[in-house]
Chains A and B, each alone.
Chain A
Amino acid sequence: MAITDIEKSQPFSRRMRETLRLMRKNWSAYLFLMPGLIHFAIFTLFAVGFAFYISFHEWNIIRPEKPFVGLENYLRLFEDPRFLRAVTNTLTFMVGVPLNLISGLAVALLLNTKVRGQALFRAMFYLPVVTPLVVSSIIWKWLYQGDYGLLNYYLLKFGIIQEKIFWLADPNLALPALILMGIWGGTGATMVIYLAGLQSIPQEMYDASMVDGANSWQRLRYITIPLLRPTTFFLFITSVIGTFQIFTEVYIMTNGGPLNRTTTIGYYLYTNAFRELDMGYATAMAFVLFAMIFGFTLIQWKYTRGDVEY
């Protein structure tokens, strides 16, 4: 019995020694990683654990005592009408995701037809993406102005509307207005990635379909879109994750109003943490947000994995 134990442990201790030898031999690798590892350990690993801890406490940054409250922060969330409103609003913002993909794909398809001035067109569609979000929000705040805004001017001029609309002050229009702005700001990014995807489709596929007499709609429907699936999958996931975190536009353009109709989870979380100083509650909110993103990605992954070819 004792002998077998020793026999068993020998390969293990030998493996340990071998590992230690390799670690000593490659000491410089650890040294090279050190700055990144320290950063990662503090601002990512420790931070997540710390956040988890905070979410079970009543954590006001100013008050020295931070009592443990168990699940109370999480339970409060589901009874907080403003939080539920924020969830609804954030999910409504998701309408922008497919619209953004469609407009990006449409532009990419047009640009992929060997047009002249492709680089110029691409740059023009891409410009909103490099524009700082603060600046985009300022421009669109002006465009949506009721009295002087450009949007009202042209809509009135072409007779589409009869009287001035106060876009950002109207509870039913403020959120759609922000979605529209999001499409303007996001199309360029999806376009560029779709273009890269389109250029990786082999020309032979199209040549073969031409021989079979497929028209351009059939080529789009049965070749292009299916072959772009991995790109669409990637864009869909990243856009949804981005949409879950919308903040800046809301902060600058609407302050979450009117009537909380544009309050997103990201914005509500910020106000709880830094205006109400209720950091335990805000952190619990962040975990619920994480769970939503995680769950969503998992569902996406499960339903599309079989179809995605790499």
Chain B
Amino acid sequence: MAITRTEKSVSKSDPISKPAARPIKWKDLLGKLIVYLLLTTGAIIFIAPWAWMVSASFQPIGEIFEWPPNWIPETFTLQNYVKFLAAEGFFRWVLNSGFLAVVVLVIQMFFNSLAAYTFAKRKFPGRDGLFLLMLGTLMIPGQLFLIPNYIILLRSPLFGGNNLMGVGGYGMLDSFWGIIIPYSFSVWSVFFMRQYMKGIPDDLLDAARMDGASEFLIYWKVVMPLCGPVLAAQAIFTFTFVWNDFFWPLIVISSPELRTLQLGLALFILKNKTVWDIVFAGSVVSTLPVLLIFIFFQKYFIRGIALTGMK
């Protein structure tokens, strides 16, 4: 489809071009054709595993196991989704994941942007030292924080049956606090927001200061409205990160009803090895929110990724 269209557009310009340029034109055309061929083949290979998951999620279990594989369901069924939402606690897990992703997103946006604004636009003793210290810790792998933070959560005073000394209960473990609190601030995000905020002219802030605006009002009414693109990119990134996260919930959560969708899905497939119909339906549901965000905000997504270089 795409190939024929380019052929047409190239041949349209033919009459204008000089005859001498023709051999090169053919070479270009061949080059274009190869480019499209490679891209299309590559894209199909990349999309195939994913397309299979979607297709299989609409097939009855017997058909999923058939050879040759059915790329288009022979008997189209929604049963897998019904079974998925009815099985164990899947419905609850979808809600848990959505709740956590939104709460972490809101808290992080506020704390991160507040810190980013302060680092970008305020002058105060210790600023540069603090900022460098924070950046310096970014190279430490997550595994190093795993065990100390687990114990910190376990020993949080007055949480989960703990007394003031942090003894007696489970602290923030096996509760949403254990996910929300450690995820309430991100140095990465502060760094990228700060870079963006530094580009906002100081004159705007000074003008607001002249009018007697408080520092918080300047941050909230002057700086934040100008940060749309970076906030959108960071919001998308944070939501996707929390929604897709597996490792931390695996460590923190032990009650089945508190599982996130990713955790529930992973433990479900490890426990029940043959229920691929439910698992494929669950996989689609678990991909859907990030997919929709990706489709609707592709621009911010790509820009955010290109900016942060994070996967």
Q: Give the interface of A toward B (CB within 8 A).
A: 19, 22-23, 26, 28-30, 32-33, 35-37, 39-40, 42-48, 50-51, 54, 61, 107, 110-111, 113, 115-117, 119, 121-143, 148, 150, 153, 157, 184, 186-189, 192-193, 195-196, 234-235, 238, 241-242, 244-245, 247-248, 251-252, 265-266, 269-270, 273-274, 279, 282-283, 285-287, 289-290, 293-294, 297
Q: Give the interface of B toward A (CB within 8 A).
A: 2, 5-6, 32, 35-36, 38-39, 42-43, 46-50, 52-53, 56, 64-65, 67-69, 111-112, 114-115, 117-119, 122-125, 127, 130, 134, 137, 139-152, 154, 182, 184-185, 187, 190, 214-216, 219, 240, 243-244, 246-247, 250-251, 262, 265-266, 269-270, 276, 279-280, 283, 286-287, 290-291, 294-295, 298, 301-302, 305-306, 309-311
Contact status B240-A130, CB under 8 Å: yes
Contact status A125-B42, CB under 8 Å: yes
Nearest A residue (CB) for B283: A135
Decide: A36 near B190, CB < 8 A? Known: A47-B149, A132-B287, A282-B147: yes
Complex alpha-carbon distance, A143 and B276, angstroms = 12
Complex alpha-carbon distance, A180 and B302, angstroms = 24
Contact status B111-A35, CB under 8 Å: yes
Contact status B305-A148, CB under 8 Å: no
Across-interface contacts of A36 in B (CB, < 8 A): 111-112, 114-115, 185, 190
Interface centre among B69, B117, B141, B146 (most CB of A within 10 A): B141
Complex alpha-carbon distance, A235 and B48, angstroms = 26
Decide: A47 near B68, CB < 8 A? Known: A39-B184, A135-B286, A135-B287: no
Across-interface contacts of B287 in A (CB, < 8 A): 130-132, 135
Nearest B residue (CB) for A113: B35
Across-interface contacts of A115 in B (CB, < 8 A): 2, 32, 35-36, 39
Across-interface contacts of A193 in B (CB, < 8 A): 305-306, 309
Complex alpha-carbon distance, A19 and B47, angstroms = 59
Across-interface contacts of A248 in B (CB, < 8 A): 246-247, 266
Contact status A33-B46, CB under 8 Å: no
Across-interface contacts of A19 in B (CB, < 8 A): 125
Top 5 closest pairs, chain A to chain B, by CB: A26-B124, A39-B185, A196-B306, A47-B148, A132-B244
Decide: A293 near B114, CB < 8 A? Known: A54-B147, A125-B46, A139-B49: no
B126 to chain A, nearest CB (A): 8
A24 to chain B, nearest CB (A): 10
Across-interface contacts of B6 in A (CB, < 8 A): 116
Across-interface contacts of A131 in B (CB, < 8 A): 50, 287, 290-291
Complex alpha-carbon distance, A247 and B117, angstroms = 35
Partner of B286, one of A124, A129, A132, A287: A132
Partner of B145, one of A43, A153, A157: A43
Across-interface contacts of A132 in B (CB, < 8 A): 243-244, 246, 262, 286-287, 290
A155 to chain B, nearest CB (A): 13
Nearest B residue (CB) for A107: B42
Across-interface contacts of A46 in B (CB, < 8 A): 148, 152
Partner of B311, one of A122, A189, A287, A289: A189
Across-interface contacts of B151 in A (CB, < 8 A): 50, 54, 61, 279
Across-interface contacts of B269 in A (CB, < 8 A): 138, 141, 252
A105 to chain B, nearest CB (A): 13
Complex alpha-carbon distance, A153 and B309, angstroms = 36
Contact status A235-B309, CB under 8 Å: yes
Contact status B265-A135, CB under 8 Å: yes
Complex alpha-carbon distance, A227 and B65, angstroms = 49
Complex alpha-carbon distance, A236 and B52, angstroms = 31
Across-interface contacts of B115 in A (CB, < 8 A): 32-33, 35-36
Nearest B residue (CB) for A138: B283
Contact status B146-A286, CB under 8 Å: yes
